[in-house]
Chains A and B, each alone.
Chain A
C-alpha cells in the first residue's frame, strides 16, 4: 500500500476537505438532536427524519432539476416526520423510545414504498449530478485553510451557518434559555410561565429541520441518487455523537468532524489498499464507523466527569402528575 498517498502532506488537504464534507449529514442531524434533547425529548426518530429528508431532497432535485428545491423538499419531509414524533411524544405523551423506533420503521417502509412506486425496481437507479464545489473568492485562496474550508459546495457553507445558528439560538436567545430550562426542570419552567409542551414541539421541529437538511446534504451534495435505507444508520450515529459531545452543539459538531475525517481516511485506505484482495477484509472497514461509534460512546459515558445529560430527558411532562419531590 502506498502510505504516502494516504497520509502524506499532499494528501492532507484533500483529506480534511473531504472529511468536512462527509461530516455534514451526521453533524447537522446530531446538532439538531442536541437541541431537542436539551429540551428533554429523546428523539430516536432521527434516522427516520434523515431518511425522509434524503428521499424528499432526491425527489425535489430530480424532478425540478434544481438543487435548492431538493433542499426545501428534504427539510419539509424531515419536519413532517419530526411533527409526527412531536404529536406522539409531546401531545399524546406516549413512550418516547417506542415512538422513535416505530417512526424509524415507518419512515423506512414509507420511503421504500414511495421510491419503488415512482421508479420501479431497477438496476440502474436514476441519478443527478451532485453540487459542484463553490470556491469563495479571496478566502478560498488562503494557502491550506482556503482549500480545506472555502473550496466546498454551497450546502457545506449553509450547514456551517445552520450549526452556528443552533448554537446561537440555544445559548443567546430567550427560546434557548427556555429549552434548557425545560430539559432540566420542566416543573420549574412551567411555574415560571414557560409552556413546556410548546417549547418541546418547537425543539422537535428544529431537529426536523436539521435532520431533513442533513438528509438533503447527503443526497444533493454527495450521492445524487436514492436507495432503500440509504442513510445507513447515520441518524443513530448522530444520537451517539450527542452523548459524545455532552449535549453541547459545538462539541457534538466537533465529534462529527472527527468522524467525517475518519470516514474520509478509511475510504482512502480502502482505495489505496486495492479493495477486495487485501489481507484486511473490507467488511471490517464497512463496520468500522459503527464500531468506532460504540467505542466512542462507551468512552464518553465512562469518563464523563459531569452528568451533562438533561435531567428530564425521555420523560414527558404532565402537569397533573408533576408532583415529583426532587
Chain B
C-alpha cells in the first residue's frame, strides 16, 4: 500500500501565453424532449493568468454549470475545456480527479471543510491525498495571508463562518493551483466576514499572481474582481472590466427588466 502516486507536477509548469483555463463552444444540455434544458449554449470563454474574474447572472443563467464544467466537476454535452494545457474531455475519472487535486483549487458556498480534521489538516488535505509534502514556505505565506495562524489546530466547528471560508481559501491556494474556482464563497457570510474573504482572494491575485474565477450574485462581491462576465440563458451576454458595485448593479437591473420584457413578450 503506497499512498504516494504522483502523476502531475506539484506546481504546474505553465507555458507562457497559455491562459489558465479556457472553454470553446461549451454546451451542456440536461434532460430530453419536453424537459430538455440548455444550461450552456456554445459558450466561448477564457480566463487569463493572474486575473480575478467574476461570473454573474440571474438564477438559472448557467453560471454554476459553467464553473462546474470548467473545473472538471461536470461533463460537457459538447465543446472543449482546458485547464492550462490539459483538455478535460480527454481525461477519465481518475485523470480528472488528479487534475482537480493538483491543478485546481475550490471554495464552495458551504461545507468546505471536513469536520474531523483541524484547520491545518484541511488546508493540506489535497496534498495529503496526493501523498505529497506541502511547500512549507508557501504554506506559511498563505496561512499568514488569511490570518489564521493562531487557529490552525482548531476543528471547523470551533471556527466562525468567515474563518471557515478563509480556511477553504487557504486550502484552495496551498497547492498553487493553475486556477481557483469559488462558488458563491461569501453567500453565507455577513458583509464584514465576506469582505475579508474577498480581500484575500483579490490579494492572492494581485500579490501571488493567482487566477481566480468566482461565481456570485452579489454586485458588491463582483466589484472585487478585475472583470465581470454576465450570463443569461446559457450565453455570455456582456463583459465588464474594472467593475464597481454600482455599475454591476445597474447592469443586473437592466437584465431583470430585459428578462421581464422577454417574459411578457
Query: Does B bind A?
Result: no
Give chain B's interface residues, CB within 8 Å of chain A: none
Give chain A's interface residues, CB within 8 Å of chain B: none
